[in-house]
Amino acid sequence: MMSNLDKIIAQVDERQDELVDLLATLISFKTPAPPARNTTEAQTYVAQFLEQIGFSIDMWDVYPNDPNVVGVQKGTKSDTHQSLIVNGHIDVAEVREDEAWKSDPFQPVIQNGNIIGRGAADMKGGLAGALFALKLLSEGDMTLAGDVIFQSVIGEEVGEAGTLQCCERGYHADFALVVDTSDLHIQGQGGVITGWITVKSEKTYHDATRRNMIHAGGGLFGASAIEKMTKLIEGLQELERHWAITKQYEGYQPGTNTINPAVIEGGRHAAFIADECRLWITVHYYPDETYEQVTQEIEEHLLRVAEADIWLRENPPTFEWGGTSMIEDKGEIFPSLQVDPNHKAVKLLSKSHKKVHTDPVTIDVSPSVTDGGWFSEAGIPAAIYGPGDFLHAHAVNEQLSIDQLVSFTKTMIHFIYHWSNQKKRQ
């Protein structure tokens, strides 16, 4: 005899068209970031979907026309049983005019067992599967003893911490599952932080005085901020090589912890010596590190480089780290996330995956970053687990295997039900 839960899981196959239609509807909402500020319609749809299956809704603007949605379903025994956050972002990667899509990226098509459209893999597939799992559990009158908190957040694609706002708003649980692109691996992640390094002269000199700075007897203690920045770039390259030799993390190729000098801005006019130069860098670091640690290492190293230069010694670089948005202030932070394979929720998720797939789940690390690190920062154990191949994320003709979407949804039904009905640790 099939249990009631098994019958509900079997419904995913029977109602596959309904699941695919849900994903197609989510894709049809145009939510690329950049430009962002375009998610209200999509988030309203998610909020109404959750409300119809018994969730109470909290919806607020992170930015104008970019609201977060949090749905809460209180468990029947909230005090004694495990609570869960299911998290995903509604924004998708930008679509450029020169991209050769087979069809409108926001009018999804089915082809060769895949659904094609912007956000299919990253990560509206994860949102659709999780929402459909909750819908089937609700329709099946399956009692959930612990609280379930569903978060549909904005801004992940441009470093806008919709998830951070959820944490700051007080949403907490015994475990958080980020249903972002992981090809159904259970994953942790390294971290990313951007920063600006600035070299600035106290005075601005006319181009005609350059000889006095660089030749014998010139008598002028000055320098080009651009030329001095090249010394700091060399220092960053030296530190990057040192990290590659001295730091490792299982699952990453050596040297994955990189320092990318991404953008340089300097000078004011061809008739003047450059009195300021700014370097925008992106730093990737390992799951067992924090952005506070790695930025301190960079600052200390570059200040030593500056100390070895006569002019930089008197005009040391300054540093600005992170930011709340790549759109608003040209900065972002993605904290790292370590997954504990022995955590009760991770073990249960592994069991749920194996029930659906037969083969054991892979536990590894993401090659990219998600909002998962914000849960780690908030002291909430978390993991990434979602449908979609990372190689399809952000890609032209982005796609998701329908079979994988179906199996993900089945896994979520099993995991949500059993986790919610586990007692908390005493």
**Cα separation, 333 vs 35, whole angstroms:** 19
In the block, which residue shows the tokens 């006569």? Answer: 310
- Beta-ladder partners of 141: none
pTM of the full predicted structure?
A: 0.95
C-beta of residue 175 within 8 angstroms of C-beta of residue 381 = yes
Domain 191-321 has CATH 3.30.70.360: yes
Selected residue with higher pLDDT from 416 and 1: 416
**Cα separation, 304 vs 404, whole angstroms:** 51
Neighbours of 389 (CB within 10 A): 18
Domain 4-189+337-420 fold is: Aminopeptidase (3.40.630)
**DSSP character at residue 121:** I
Average pLDDT, rounded, for the chain: 97
pLDDT digits over 371-417, tens only? 999 999 999 999 999 999 999 999 999 999 999 999 999 999 999 99
Residue 148: HSE in the Cβ half-sphere, 13 Å Cα cutoff? 29
Average pLDDT over residues 160-167: 96
**Amino acid making up residue 83:** S
SS3 312: helix
The greatest distance separating any two alpha carbons of the chain, rounded to the nearest whole angstrom, comes to 96
pLDDT digits over 86-107, tens only? 999 999 999 999 999 999 999 9
DSSP line for 42-70: HHHHHHHHHHHTT-EEEEEEEETTEEEEE
**Cα separation, 205 vs 224, whole angstroms:** 9
Sign of CA dihedral 365, 367, 372, 376: positive
Average pLDDT over residues 140-158: 97
Closest C-alpha among 115, 150, 161 to residue 22: 115
Burial bucket for residue 308 (CB in 10 Å: 0-12, 13-18, 19+)? exposed
| pLDDT at residue 24, as a whole number | 98
pLDDT higher than threshold 60 for residue 320: yes
pLDDT higher than threshold 80 for residue 135: yes
- Beta-ladder partners of 150: 71, 86
Give ∠ CA 245-286-411 in degrees, rounded to 5: 135
- Beta-ladder partners of 69: 59, 152
SS3 132: helix
| pLDDT at residue 426, as a whole number | 62
Residue 71: HSE in the Cβ half-sphere, 13 Å Cα cutoff? 24
Q: Rounded to the nearest 10 degrees, what angle do helices 125-139 and 16-28 cross at?
A: 130
pLDDT digits over 22-49, tens only? 999 999 999 999 999 999 999 999 999 9
| pLDDT at residue 216, as a whole number | 87
pLDDT higher than threshold 60 for residue 146: yes
Q: Which helix (H) or strand (E) holds 363?
A: strand 363-366
Alpha-carbon distance values, 220 to 104, 211, 284 (Å): 61, 9, 40
| pLDDT at residue 34, as a whole number | 97
**Cα separation, 49 vs 139, whole angstroms:** 13
Average pLDDT over residues 294-316: 98
| pLDDT at residue 161, as a whole number | 86
For residue 98, which phi and psi values (nearest 5 degrees)?
-90, 5
SS3 178: strand
**Cα separation, 85 vs 129, whole angstroms:** 15
**Would you state the structure tokens that stand for residue 1, as one six-digit string?**
């005899």
Alpha-carbon distance values, 247 to 285, 380, 390 (Å): 10, 26, 25
| pLDDT at residue 1, as a whole number | 52
Kindly list the catalytic residues. 91, 156
Q: Cis omega before residue 34 (within 30°)? A: yes
**Cα separation, 165 vs 157, whole angstroms:** 15
| pLDDT at residue 2, as a whole number | 66
| pLDDT at residue 54, as a whole number | 97
pLDDT higher than threshold 90 for residue 219: no
Domain ranges of the chain: 4-189+337-420, 191-321
pLDDT higher than threshold 90 for residue 425: no
Residue 211: HSE in the Cβ half-sphere, 13 Å Cα cutoff? 2
**Cα separation, 225 vs 229, whole angstroms:** 6
Closest C-alpha among 189, 161, 142, 170 to residue 412: 142
**Amino acid making up residue 53:** I
